[in-house]
Amino acid sequence: MDVDDPYRAPATLPATAPAFPPVPQFASRDAVAGEYYSPPTLKLASLSLVTLGLYPLYWFWQNWRAIKRETGGTQWPWARAVFAPLWSFLCFSDLRDIAVSRRRDLAFAPGLLAAVYFLLNLAGRLPGALTLLSLFTFVPILPINSLLRRYHREEGVDTRRMDRFGVWHILLLVFGGLFLLLVLFGFSLPDTER
């Protein structure tokens, strides 16, 4: 008596395997190279100055969003941007690691850049005109931004959207520039308090 065992492997392979149509492969922009926020140096520097140091927070927010998208992490980009002086080292390290994986090197150590960024943020607490040092919080971002721009150029990522100055950028430059001039003029006045 031959009992049919449904769990036993077949004695011979089927004559022909069923033909499945090939699955189309769609190359997405993210599959080729990640798009990180890296505006031109002029845009980064000018908007950082006229917003009195708020534009670097936007830069951090955009790049934390890109890191979260690329790595599938669970971080909150807005919280890491708000507390950017504390999280800048991790952001700089993550962005450096992404570029190094594509054989691009960063000229400065992320720890050094993060320390300078932190100290420039603390400079806002200094008395008198020394507080103006905090306007230069964008300076430690420049090497990372340059690395990302080189990464985008070599990977063929379209950066035209980041490169252009939109209407809001121009309005910020005009009104923020006027406000910055007023602040600088105010610091140049002699101290009459005695």
pLDDT tens-digit profile of 65-87? 988 988 888 889 999 998 989 98
How large is the average pLDDT for residues 151-180?
Answer: 87
Neighbours of 170 (CB within 10 A): 10
Q: Quick check: 44 and 54 in contact, CB under 8 A? A: no
| pLDDT at residue 25, as a whole number | 42
pLDDT at 178 over 50: yes
Specify the pTM.
0.75
| pLDDT at residue 1, as a whole number | 54
Taken in order 185, 186, 192, 194, the sign of the CA dihedral is negative
| pLDDT at residue 186, as a whole number | 85
Two tokens, residue 181: 């001039």
3-state SS, residue 164: coil
pLDDT at 3 over 50: yes
Two tokens, residue 162: 């980041």
Q: Give the Cα separation of 51 and 44 in Å (integer).
A: 11
Two tokens, residue 150: 């080189």
**What average pLDDT is seen over the chain?**
82
Neighbours of 71 (CB within 10 A): 12
Q: Give the Cα separation of 107 and 193 in Å (integer).
A: 46
Two tokens, residue 131: 């507080």
| pLDDT at residue 124, as a whole number | 84
What band does 29 get if pLDDT is binned at 50, 70 and 90? very low
By CB neighbour count within 10 A (0-12 exposed, 13-18 middle, 19+ buried), where does 151 fall?
Answer: buried
pLDDT tens-digit profile of 100-142? 776 677 778 888 999 999 999 998 888 887 888 888 999 999 9
What band does 149 get if pLDDT is binned at 50, 70 and 90? confident
How far is CA 18 from each of CA 10, 14, 15, rounded to the nearest angstrom?
Answer: 17, 9, 10
Two tokens, residue 33: 């190279």
| pLDDT at residue 156, as a whole number | 81
| pLDDT at residue 166, as a whole number | 87
Two tokens, residue 70: 């690329």
Beta strands in the chain (DSSP E): none
Q: Give the Cα separation of 104 and 179 in Å (integer).
A: 39
